[in-house]
A and B are shown apart, each in its own frame.
Chain A
Amino acid sequence: MKQLLGVINLDHELDHLNELTYFRCGAAVPFASRYRLIDFVLSNMMRAELESVGLFVRRKYRSLMDHLGDGKSWDMNRKHGGLFILPPDWNDPTDTSLGDLQHFHNNLDFFKRASAKYIVHSGSQHINTIDFQELYSYHLEKGADVTLVYKKIDHLEPEHDPCLRLEVDEDGNVLNIHHEKNHPNIYMEMLIMEKELFLEQVEYCIAHGESYFFRDAIQKRRDKLKIAAYEYTGYHAVINSVASYYKNSMKLLNHDEYTDLFHDNQVQTKIKYEAPTRYLESANVSNSLVANGCIIAGTVENSVIFRGVQIRKGARVVNSVVMQKCVIEEDAVIENVILDKDVQLSRERILVGDSKRPFVIAKSSKM
């Protein structure tokens, strides 16, 4: 779909995942045994065959850059277009732009060079499997200036609190955008609009000393725009806290959730050349997701195990998330724990967190 230009804007995403975001931005947090949060939006964009994708980053993006490389894993290493990682380095003394508008202003060339007529804007905290082509058709059909994507949530959870809500009429037009906590229509931080209109809005906002594209160009000026709403009904998870990270990781052990996320939607990630996982004679695994390259001799229950993890004989991993290359020695026990990458847990060590507030162990710790 050469008509679409992808914009992934990480500017306003707060790194609220404590230990997991000490050294990386939220988009680079590992999720679902072998992915990082950014993989889901990038894979959606890949499936819709967008011409180019610009990724606006500001802080702690080293591990994100390492993960993305030249975009090959998402088929975005192209002669024309492909993946552009756009960090905020720019020193124009006359530049008066603020907030995420600064990104757009500083990278006008990225927008102008692309032949695509429409932009699709997204963050990385809402994990979903949206079909951008369908969104595009819907947008054209509605003849709207902007189409916003929302998900109607039956049971609101604490992680939905920071999300904006859309009030939508029967014809799918947005009546209001607000923060009322009990409203079920969660704005998924995804929108589609014509590129020219987008750039006009950016210019206007900068001229008026504004700083935040969505708030100032869309929310505040909603009377001046025809705003449509697109209801997304597939898999959806918001990852904006340790609690929501843990809860949604555990939810993937429910087979319906796993199927919703992965069935028919190939999610791409950086390739690691790991061997298949080896279960030793003493292994005892149930209700768990396990990536490749692991060697499992112990017990694993209700857990999410990333690539290259070693769980030795007698060790027990229960209700936990164990990231890449962790080693859990003989007879160690973890329960309700999130171990970040490369954690080594020595023999007979016991760590028990609370199911509501899991214990998080920072990257490369030796315990």
Chain B
Amino acid sequence: MRRRTTPAAGVTALLLLTGCGAADMTEQASPFAHARGAKTVTLSVQSWVGAQANVAVARYLLEHELGHRVDTVQIDEVPAWDALSQGRVDAILEDWGHPEQEQRYVEDRKTIVNGGDLGVTGHIGWFVPTYFAKRHPDVTDWKNLDKYAEEFRTPESGGKGQLMDGSPSYVTNDEALVRNLKLDYKVVFAGSEAAQITQIKQFAQEEKPFLTYWYTPQWLFEKVPMTEVKLPPYEEGCDADPEKVACAYPHTPLQKYLNADFAENGGEAADFLRKFRWTTEDQNEVSLMIAEQKLSPEEAARKWVAGHESTWRKWLP
């Protein structure tokens, strides 16, 4: 008897503790938000540095020009959508296109709204280091890749050439591409962007050849110049079936997304985030300061803000 009452007692205690009403799972901010009664905005940061740059500048301006407190949460792209829908974060500043999530949250559930263009256009592709492309100009066409498979081999790629992919959270068709283009390559996932960058830098230091999944805008191009390998051209809809993809990646104008409730009641902060719009060069400038000069994101943002007042004045409400 006693044993059976224990769980029941636990549940009862819990109900008493929390009041007996329904608890809305959609309205739970971080416990660290709004400390000392400040107006807090929570931004999601993805793991690439460009996303850090957006957030750093938005954060700096929100804090210094609009008097908000800003919390950041690092999460991967898809969980970020989920978190945005639940109100755990207020905004995603850089989205590379997630049609499934857009359908679910923006169209069907209306818990997320589009926050407009970021102003930066993103493009994913396959890249070889420019020092290698200069020596072998024909490597930049996918049809000749097999010829160089030997040179791109590593212990991990098991006899084939290595195509290095990054974080599993990134948008990629590479395995299908290798299969459908019948290339003598194996996709090796670095597992995180940090690991991928570290490896690329090590390769570059010795001028070794490598083939990697990479994307623009990206600060690393300033350090390790890379040349894109031409894949069969992208046409609207050629990547509709993930199994049959055999074409290049599109050019994507990156989007911002806001939590619907925040967009409506977020006041100045929501206004500001909607107007936030800068260029690839701006973003790279900040990214490079963070990743290469190892400035803290805050310092990098301060430097950029000091030199570009005409750009950000327009974002303020």
The judgment on whether A and B are partners is no
**Residues on B facing A (Cβ under 8 Å):** none
